[in-house]
Amino acid sequence: MCLKPGDILRDRYQIIGKLGEGGFAKTYTANDALGSPENPLCVVKEIPPPESNDERLLEEAQHQFEREAQTLKYLDNCPCIPKLIDRFQEQGKFYLIQEYIDGNPLNKEIVSGRQFQESAVIDLLLDILSVLECVHSQGIIHRDIKPSNLIRRKLDGKIVLIDFGAVKAIGTLAIENGQITQTRAVGTDGYMQGERILLNTVHQW
- Annotated catalytic sites, by residue? 144
Q: List all residues 6 or more positions away from 145 whose beta carbon is below 8 Å from its beta carbon.
A: 132, 161, 191
CB 27 within 8 A of CB 18: yes
**Secondary structure letter of residue 99 according to DSSP:** E
β-bridge mates for residue 30, sequence order: 15, 42
H/E element, 183 = none
d(CA 24, CA 51): 12
CB 75 within 8 A of CB 134: yes
Burial status of residue 59 (CB atoms within 10 A of its CB: 0-12, 13-18, 19 or more): exposed
In this structure, the strands spanning 84-90 and 93-99 are: antiparallel
d(CA 174, CA 177): 10
